[in-house]
A and B are shown apart, each in its own frame.
Chain A
């Protein structure tokens, strides 16, 4: 088992503490506030992924270094899901991942919800 220097941001101590949302549109673009342990603003990705027999899927949260707040929070936009016309919610994972090296945080779940066209339906869902 490797020993990590907990003071160094380069050690593998990536951790997602809290997110303000754990679901969003299948079309992506939802803004999420993520609170985390120390990260380097120019060496961090938010990786969305799904693992299955066919090699799986991955995409990344959209943010700039200025969206990384004091090394302990990131405001980002969700990527779109690979299949835009899902009929039921789909749960995938996301994790923090360093660009240099392969260090990752424990994954958290994120649920993509189908895109609803009908306007009244959208309003009804907003009310819930």
Chain B
């Protein structure tokens, strides 16, 4: 097990505490609030992944709030024509040392779902 210096954000363990939204369309652009342990705004990325696919969430350094929250937009899923929900992993990753947080789950929804959700009942 690696030993972390909890005080230094350059080496501390990355952790996602909470997301405000846990699902969104496979076309991406869902605005998400993520609460985390301290990060450096210029040394962090948010990675969506499933199997071999991975994509980076979109945000600016000004979207990192006091090192403990990030407001970002979900990337589009690799396929835009999914007909079923797809669950992917979301994690924080430090650019400098490539360390990642434990993943949390996010669900991509089909772009053109049954508007009255009769199929889901």
Q: What residues of chain A have their CB less than 8 Å away from a CB belonging to chain B?
A: 17-18, 20, 31, 33, 35, 37-38, 69-70, 72-73, 75, 120, 123-124, 127
Contacts of A124 in B (CB 8 A): 115
Q: Does B35 contact A (CB under 8 A)?
A: yes
Q: Name B's A-contacting residues (CB within 8 A).
A: 17-18, 20-21, 31, 33, 35, 37-38, 65-69, 71, 115-117
Q: Which residues of B contact A18 (CB under 8 A)?
A: 65, 71
Contact of A73 among B21, B38, B65 (CB under 8 A): B65
- The answer on a CB contact under 8 Å between A72 and B115 is no
Closest Cβ of chain B: how far from A56's Cβ, in Å?
A: 30
Q: Are A75 and B18 in contact (CB under 8 A)?
A: yes
Question: Are A70 and B68 neighbours in the complex by a CB distance under 8 Å?
Answer: yes
- List A contacts of B17 (CB < 8 A): 69
Q: Are A69 and B69 in contact (CB under 8 A)?
A: yes
Task: Return 23 A-B CB contacts under 8 Å, by A number.
Answer: A17-B65, A20-B20, A20-B33, A31-B20, A33-B20, A35-B33, A35-B65, A35-B69, A35-B71, A69-B17, A69-B69, A70-B35, A70-B68, A72-B65, A72-B69, A73-B65, A73-B68, A75-B20, A75-B35, A123-B115, A123-B116, A123-B117, A124-B115
Task: Report how many A-B pairs have Cβ atoms within 8 Å.
Answer: 48
With A and B bound together, what is the CA distance between A38 and B35 in angstroms? 15
Our pick among B18, B21, B115 for the contact of A69 (Cβ within 8 Å) is B18
**Which of A33, A123, A124 has most chain B Cβ within 10 Å?**
A33
Is there an interface contact between B65 and A69, defined as CB atoms closer than 8 Å? Answer: no
- Per CB-CB distance, the 3 closest pairs between chain A and chain B, nearest first, are A72-B66, A70-B68, A33-B33
Distance A29 CA – B121 CA, assembled complex (angstroms): 25
B69 / chain A contacts, CB cutoff of 8 Å: 33, 35, 69, 72-73
**Contact residues in B for A35 (Cβ distance below 8 Å):** 33, 65-66, 69, 71
Q: Are B68 and A69 in contact (CB under 8 A)?
A: yes
Indicate if the CB atoms of B117 and A33 lie closer than 8 Å: no
Q: A70 CA to B65 CA in the complex, in Å?
A: 11
